[in-house]
């Protein structure tokens, strides 16, 4: 950021503060780039890229937010004027007054750990990588196969009236492979695999090879072959062992979204729903069994890591659920005062650094970051299987239905394996399970050790009105739940 633009930002801050604003910030997207490649049965059916830049401005005036954005960098003063006018209009409406909280001054930068920027890699090298995977996916029982790559790069400069000046350079990589075929009833079955890791290492183009992502092709091929002649999962109550490929969705939908403070305060009701959690439950609610330890984490190699949130709050690691007890939620700085007011006591001291926006032209809202479940002391996957008398192992979601307040759920999975008397057995297709969120988490009775923990990526978490698509990561161990309703009558 050159000195001329930095000086102009400070002049605009001084101007809106003199006009009665209590706080203001600006996010300048120097570069916001994406690239998407899609191979369908060996044919490159999708090859798209996007590039944008611009700025988003917020001001806080008499307890009301005003936001404006522009793609024209020379229109900064006009953008601040529109934000101020929007805040003045919003201040005339009823609602709990917003408060930016204590001054938090931060200086520095965060860059994703990268060896090779994927945007510098030639198209041929990327498509060669995809075609090598596609060759492994080809088999006589496969009717349809896909391979996709998706890359993101964001270079953002952030300033606010606390005196914060911060730079972010974020690079994300997503990859997916899948195979499909019709079973003996004519219903399509699928096995897929997405790029995942251990939360460590680098996240440039090199990660695709270092993670042995391509090595999953033979496995999903063989598993699909089993699914094509497998029976349906019969209905019944049994133990459910969730692999990280399914456990991440359980955490995402019934912990992550349920603990976003704007949902808890009712601000998402008209679009994405609310939460069964209320502010006065923080520090009191028994969310799950004592084996449940969930936290918001700063994970090096994860799309939910960004250094500084869009309120200027440094990202940190803190517990959300500790030994089953709800101790904190995901929050931005503007809603802390309201949460304490609604609770009738101080349930929160400061922001959880969860204010995020998907683009320069969208205002920040409360969003998930990295929501992880800590590994437990119940051993490896084999140990958990050996300790299970009657259960089912489930992996990778194909369908999901969530209660409007995240109070119950119904999930369908690509594949399930029967467990009888400590032995992993036959494969089931069309496997489902459902339950109520709190009783389900209270039935958590086994949590795998660090060898079972995997960082799953989510590229398409949607929320907000207008909708914002964001990226998050979930570090998940193998988890077992007792007495779960599974299968369909």
196 and 245 together in one domain: no
385 and 460 together in one domain: yes
283 and 345 together in one domain: yes
Last residue of a domain, one of 227, 256, 281: 227
- Please report where in the chains the tokens 């008398």 appear, as a residue: 389
Last residue of a domain, one of 203, 227, 251: 227
pLDDT at residue 270 in the model: 83
Domain count for the chain, please give it.
2
The list of the chain residues with pLDDT below 70 reads: 489
Domain span including residue 128: 3-227
341 and 412 together in one domain: yes
281 and 197 together in one domain: no
pLDDT at residue 230 in the model: 97
CATH of the domain at 132: 3.30.2290.10
pLDDT digits (tens, 9 = 90+) for 321-357: 999 999 999 999 999 999 999 999 999 999 999 999 9
18 and 108 together in one domain: yes
313 and 436 together in one domain: yes
307 and 339 together in one domain: yes
203 and 280 together in one domain: no
pLDDT at residue 489 in the model: 65
247 and 195 together in one domain: no
127 and 199 together in one domain: yes
Last residue of a domain, one of 181, 202, 227: 227
74 and 206 together in one domain: yes
pLDDT at residue 72 in the model: 96
């Amino acid at each position: 950021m050159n000195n001329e633009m930095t000086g102009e930002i400070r002049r605009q801050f001084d101007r809106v503060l003199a006009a009665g604003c209590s706080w203001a910030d600006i996010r300048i997207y120097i570069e916001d780039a994406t690239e998407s490649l899609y191979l369908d049965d060996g044919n490159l059916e999708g090859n798209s890229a996007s590039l944008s830049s611009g700025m988003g401005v917020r001001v806080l005036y008499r307890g009301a937010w005003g936001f404006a954005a522009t793609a024209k960098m020379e229109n900064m003063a006009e953008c601040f004027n529109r934000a101020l006018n929007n805040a003045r209009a919003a201040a005339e409406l009823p609602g709990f007054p917003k408060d930016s909280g204590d001054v938090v001054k931060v200086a520095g930068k965060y860059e994703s750990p990268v060896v090779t920027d994927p945007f510098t890699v030639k198209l041929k090298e990327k498509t060669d990588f995809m075609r090598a995977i596609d060759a492994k996916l080809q088999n006589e029982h496969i009717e349809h196969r896909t391979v996709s790559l998706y890359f993101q790069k964001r270079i953002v400069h952030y300033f606010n009236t606390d005196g914060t000046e911060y730079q972010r350079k974020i690079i994300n990589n997503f990859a997916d492979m899948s195979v499909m075929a019709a079973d003996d009833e004519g219903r399509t079955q699928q096995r897929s695999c997405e790029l995942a890791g251990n939360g460590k290492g680098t996240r440039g183009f090199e990660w695709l090879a270092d993670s042995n992502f391509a090595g999953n092709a033979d496995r999903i091929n063989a598993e699909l072959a089993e699914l094509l002649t497998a029976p349906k999962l019969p209905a019944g109550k049994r133990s459910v062992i969730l692999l990280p490929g399914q456990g991440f969705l359980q955490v995402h939908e019934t912990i992550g979204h349920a603990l976003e403070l704007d949902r808890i305060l009712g601000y998402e009701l008209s679009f994405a729903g609310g939460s069964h959690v209320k502010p006065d439950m923080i520090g009191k609610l028994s969310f799950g069994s004592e084996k449940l330890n969930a936290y918001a984490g700063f994970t090096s190699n994860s799309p939910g890591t960004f250094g500084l949130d869009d309120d200027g709050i440094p990202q940190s690691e803190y517990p959300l659920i500790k030994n089953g007890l709800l101790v904190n939620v995901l929050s931005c700085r503007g809603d802390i005062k309201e949460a304490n007011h609604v609770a009738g006591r101080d349930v929160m001291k400061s922001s959880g650094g969860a204010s995020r926006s998907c683009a320069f032209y969208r205002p920040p809202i409360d969003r998930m970051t990295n929501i992880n479940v800590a590994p437990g002391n119940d051993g490896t996957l084999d140990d958990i299987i050996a300790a299970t008398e009657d259960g089912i192992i489930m992996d990778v979601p194909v369908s999901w239905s969530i209660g409007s307040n995240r109070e119950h759920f119904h999930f369908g999975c690509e594949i399930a394996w029967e467990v009888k008397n400590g032995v992993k057995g036959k494969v089931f297709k069309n496997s489902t399970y459902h339950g109520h969120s709190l009783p389900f988490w209270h039935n958590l009775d086994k949590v795998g050790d660090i060898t079972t923990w995997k960082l799953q990526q989510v590229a398409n978490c949607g929320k907000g009105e207008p909708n914002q698509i964001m990226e998050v990561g979930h570090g998940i161990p193998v988890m077992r739940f007792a007495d779960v309703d599974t299968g369909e009558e």
